[in-house]
Amino acid sequence: MSTALFSPSTDRKLQAAESICAARGTRMTNLRRQVLGLVLETATPSSAYDLLDRLRVSHKGAAPPTIYRALDFLLEQGLVHKVERLSAYIGCVHSQDAEHHAAQFLICRQCGRVVELEDSAIAAACAAAARRLGFRTQGSTIEIEGLCAACQAAPTLDAPTLDAPV
């Protein structure tokens, strides 16, 4: 089901998400599809209330439980991640084999951009450290804050650098 609401790139990801859900025997409703599309269309993570405001353009009566139910489904399916530090959501449409992969995020403190890493070595190191301590992991999310390459390269007039006296 294609829609003019989203860019062609997002529409392709939505079609992939629908295929993933169908293969798992779950249903991507129109509302869930629209919420996922809103998440995917945004360059930075979106809060539930930001998504709700944007959803109300087409679903006038949408209320907080509406958005949270859709987000819960998308989280369960591994189609979005919640960036806890920001209490916001980003899209993650992978193959159906990657239902619950370990997520690592790089969060830019300046522009708010979030990049997802998928480094199996990091996940393996965390799991091994947990095992050494007798801890059985059930999932992990790592959030790393700093400055993205674009923000590092951008000239700043009012922010002191680490080398400059204050």
The string of pLDDT tens digits covering residues 15-54 is 999 999 999 999 999 999 999 999 999 988 999 999 999 9
pLDDT of the residue at 148:
94
Q: How confident is the model at residue 94 (pLDDT cuts 50, 70, 90)?
A: low
Compute the half-sphere exposure of residue 132: CA atoms within 13 Å on the CB side of its CA: 6
**Distance set, CA 24 to CA 19, 99, 100 (Å):** 9, 10, 13
> Which region among 7-11, 75-79, 114-118, 150-154 has the lowest average model confidence (pLDDT)?
114-118
- By C-alpha distance, which of 68, 82, 81 is closest to 32? 68
pTM for this structure? 0.80
In this prediction, residue 161 has a pLDDT band, given cuts at 50, 70 and 90, of: very low
The number of beta carbons lying within 10 Å of the beta carbon of residue 109 is 11
Mean pLDDT of the chain: 87
Residue, of 4 and 135, whose pLDDT is higher: 135
